[in-house]
Amino acid sequence: MTELVVATKNKKKLKEIKIILKGLKLKISSLSDYNDIPRIIENGKTFRENAVKKAVKVARASGKLALGEDSGLCVEALNGAPGIYSARFSGKDKSDVKNNLKLLRLLKGLPLSERKAHYVCAVALADKDGLVGVVEGKCNGIIGLELKGRHGFGYDPLFVIPKFKKTFGQLDERLKHKMSHRYHALAKTRNILNKYIEKD
């Protein structure tokens, strides 16, 4: 069975990826299972660059098929910020709560009509021979006026899906996994993985 090393130590992100890739003939592991892989500095200018860097470095270090994923939130009123800095938006002592509170502060006073945003997810696959493929997914929404819901992570308690008038933090996780940016990117990744597994 093909082993896929996901280039993350984020347990919630890994859980989402495993759910969305369920059914593939893969043994999915993560950086938590490999202590000898060097730290990856995410200094790319785009989600795509960071995803590729993670996948290629982990594949090279492990000798296995690797998945690099980089995702974040882009807010129109903030010229696309926090963007690639989504995870570390609140600085050195970052946390999901601090990131969300900073976002609310920056958007204070803006009506919902001016709080349009989208999540972006880039996924790259690489093996010991190099890059296998790169795809992207996107999900549109608006930034709510307050934190709502306990599901998900990151900016999910603020990211409102207009169709449901609920945040990703409030929506059933199975529903989120059928419409999120990560779902859209990983649905494309499944096709690449299927071909790769057949060839392997």
Give tens-digit pLDDT for 176-186. 989 999 999 99
Region 66-92 average pLDDT: 96
* Catalytic residue numbers, as ranges: 70
What pLDDT, in 10s, does the model give residues 18-52? 999 999 999 999 999 998 888 888 899 999 999 99
How is residue 31 annotated by DSSP? Answer: G
Query: Alpha carbon of 27 to those of 24, 65, 124, 161, 181: distances in Å?
Result: 9, 10, 17, 33, 23
Could you tell me the two tokens for 178? 């059928």
CA distance 51 to 56: 9
Q: Domain span at residue 70?
A: 2-199
> In the chain, what is the greatest distance between 2 CA atoms, to the nearest angstrom?
55
Q: In CATH, what number is assigned to the domain containing residue 187?
A: 3.90.950.10
What is the count of structural domains for the chain?
A: 1
pTM of the model: 0.93
